[in-house]
Amino acid sequence: MEALEYFFRQLSISDLAVVLFFIGLYGAMTQRSIIKTIMSIGIMDVAAITFFMMSNFEQGARSPVTGTPPEQMADPVPQALMITAIVIGVSVVAMCLAMYMRVVFRYGTADWNILIRRLED
């Protein structure tokens, strides 16, 4: 009992991010509807980004601007890089959704298995 409580107490957001990543992967493996696959892949991407941002996390660190002593500065690299990654993720999901709309209008179905049967070759 003690060990279990200790285990749950020391979980952090990074562990949540890893669990979300694999939930997203599971969703991409099993969902039959195209839009749910796109959502699962979006979840995977966001989980990976969260995992990156939580590296070098210290409680009580201050923002890395002039005026704070260097020992208390938070790490600026993950958040700066992940802004790029978030923007890329948003653009790719938007593109996927646009392609999805064109596919659905053309073939009349939003299900992977039925769609394969209706392709033209």
Partner 1 sequence: MKHENDLPEQSLILEVVIGFLYPFMLLLGFFIIVNGHHTPGGGFQGGSVLAALFIARYVIFPYNTMDSEKMHAFQRIFLALILLTPMLLLFTGFITRNPEFRSVYLLIMNILIGLQVGLELGVAILRFAFFEGVGKTWKL
Partner 2 sequence: MENLLVPLHMLVLLPVGIGALTFFLPRKAYQAVMLLGSLFVTAAAVQLFITVRWGSEIIQFVAGWPEVVAIKLVADGISAPLVLLAAVFFTSAYIFSTRAGHMDKTFVFLFLMLESALFGIFLSGDLFNIYVVMELSMITIAILIMYKQEKQSVYDAMLYILMNFIAMAFMVMGIAYMYRLTGVLDLMVIEQRLAELPDPRAAVLPYSMIFTAVAVKAAMLPLFSWLPRAHGAPSAPSIVSAVLSGIQVKAGVYLLVRLSIVFSPVIDAQMLFLVLGFLTSVAGFLLAIAQKDIKLILAYHTISQVGLIIMGLNLGSDVAFWGGMYHIINHALFKGLLFLTAGVIIDTYGVRSVKEIRGVFRSMPVIGIAALAGVLGITGAPFFNGSISKYFIQEGIQGNWAEAGLYLINFGTILSFVKYSTILFGSPPRHLQKPRKDPFITVISLAFGAAIFSGGIFGSQAVSLVFGPQYSAAGAMGIEKISIFAATLALGVLVYRYGVLRIEGVLSGVRNFKYNFNQITVLISLFFVLLLGYSYITMG
Binding site for partner 2 (CB under 8 A): 21, 24-25, 28-32, 37-38, 41, 44-45, 47-49, 51-52, 55-56, 77-78, 81, 84-85, 88, 91-92, 95-96, 99-100, 102-103, 106-107, 112-113, 115-116, 119-121
Q: How far is CA 98 from the centre of its chain?
A: 20
CB of residue 33 vs partner 2: minimum separation in angstroms? 11
Query: Residue 11 or residue 108: which is nearer to partner 1 going by CB?
Result: 108
The amino acid at residue 35 is I
The H or E element containing residue 113 is helix 112-118
The answer to whether the CB of 40 falls within 8 A of the CB of 28 is: yes
Does residue 56 bind partner 1 (CB under 8 A)? no
| 23: its two tokens | 């939930």
DSSP-based three-state secondary structure for 45: helix
CA distances in angstroms from 78 to 55, 61, 87, listed in the order given = 7, 14, 14
Part in contact with partner 1 (CB under 8 A); list of ranges 28-36, 43-51, 98-106, 110-118: 98-106
Q: Which does 7 bind (CB under 5 to 8 A by kind): partner 2, partner 1, none?
A: none
Q: Which does 120 bind (CB under 5 to 8 A by kind): partner 2, partner 1, none?
A: partner 2
The answer to whether the CB of 44 falls within 8 A of the CB of 7 is: no
Interacting residue with partner 1 among 106, 111, 112, 114 (CB under 8 A) = 106
